[in-house]
Amino acid sequence: MTGPSNIEWTEYTWNPTTGCDPISPGCDNCYAEDLSLRLQAMSRPKYKNGFKFTVHEKDLNWPLTIKKPAMIFTNSMSDFGHQDMPLNFFDAIVGTMELAKQHTFQVLTKRPIVIKQMLQKLERDLPSNVWLGVSVENRDYLWRVDVLKQIKASVRFISYEPALGPLGMVNLSDIHWIIAGGESGPHFRSPQPEWFREIRDQCVAQGAAFFFKQWGGRTPKAGGRILDGRTHDEYPIITMALGNFI
């Protein structure tokens, strides 16, 4: 969907593309797929293709209609690095981000290699108002973090959601933010508290911000957001004018 968001760590979602394909265990109970198919059944024009990857040119300039500075999660219903993304449309999305300087765009992918390759082909970097993150559901996918570090971005982050196993020790150099959370939905897989404590403590030790989104359950809010007696709502502190983080 495009518009105001209920996701705790952002304000809006923007979906110039929709649809995706599963590539790792974190995709098994994909909320975006379920929602896309429901919207298709409701005859919503944007979702006439269900969860097949689709570009939506009419939504390309939507961020320019929001004048007040906001955090915008880009492609909550797709993957910015999907292998079927046309290079010229990828370039156009980045161009819109560049024009909408008042906003902070939070981009999340399971395919950082594709994003790296597209930026290289275009011989351009992401604008300084783009935060780039990778989804990592267990230690088997920490390689995505290694690729992320090879891409120039003012803020790099990890989404450890759904947490499906421990991450172990993670080198958080050049990583500014961790979002962590359990899976939600009728087939949710329960996380262990130790997994979240381990990565939280590493954030403290290595100077990364930590945001605990949810425990998960049948609904996103079923288990609440309290970890060890309190919420954890940290964001990276950055100086946008200089393009640096503090």
Given strand 209-214, what is the order of strands in its sheet?
Answer: 3-4, 12-14, 71-74, 104-109, 130-135, 155-160, 177-181, 209-214
Indicate if the pLDDT at residue 26 is higher than 60: yes
Q: What is the pLDDT of residues 113-168, one digit of tens each?
A: 999 999 999 999 999 999 999 999 999 999 999 999 999 999 999 999 999 999 99
Closest by alpha carbon to 158, among 113, 228, 94, 209? 209
Report how far apart, in Å, the C-alpha atoms of 155 and of each of 91, 115, 164 are.
Answer: 20, 15, 25
Domain that holds residue 226: 3-245
Residue that the structure tokens 């981000």 belong to: 97
Cα–Cα distance, 60 to 96 (Å, whole number): 7
Amino acid at 87: L
144: phi then psi, degrees, rounded to nearest 5:
-65, -35
Token pair in block for residue 57: 């040119």
- Indicate the pLDDT class of residue 237, thresholds 50, 70 and 90: confident
Indicate if the pLDDT at residue 232 is higher than 70: yes
Give the pLDDT mean for 211-226: 96
Q: Under 8 Å CB-to-CB from 224, ≥6 apart: which residues?
A: 214, 215
What is the reported pLDDT for 64? 97
Q: What is the DSSP letter of 214?
A: E
- For the chain, the first-to-last Cα distance in angstroms comes to 32
- Count of domains observed in the chain: 1
Go through 134-166 and write b for each residue having 16 or more CB atoms within 10 A of its CB, e for each that does not.
bbbbbeebbebbebbbebebbbbbbbbbbbbee
Give the pLDDT mean for 10-21: 98
Cα–Cα distance, 196 to 115 (Å, whole number): 28
- Indicate the pLDDT class of residue 245, thresholds 50, 70 and 90: very low
Give the predicted TM-score (pTM) of the model.
0.94
Q: Are 127 and 216 in contact (CB under 8 A)?
A: no
Amino acid at 140: D
What is the reported pLDDT for 1? 63
Report how far apart, in Å, the C-alpha atoms of 120 and of each of 106, 140, 193 are.
Answer: 20, 26, 40
What is the reported pLDDT for 55? 98
Q: What is the DSSP letter of 53?
A: -
**What percentage of the chain has pLDDT greater than the value 70?**
96
Q: What is the pLDDT of residues 98-123, one digit of tens each?
A: 999 999 999 999 999 999 999 999 99
Q: State the chain's mean pLDDT as an integer.
A: 95
Q: What is the pLDDT of residues 34-89, one digit of tens each?
A: 999 999 999 999 999 999 999 999 999 999 999 999 999 999 999 999 999 999 99
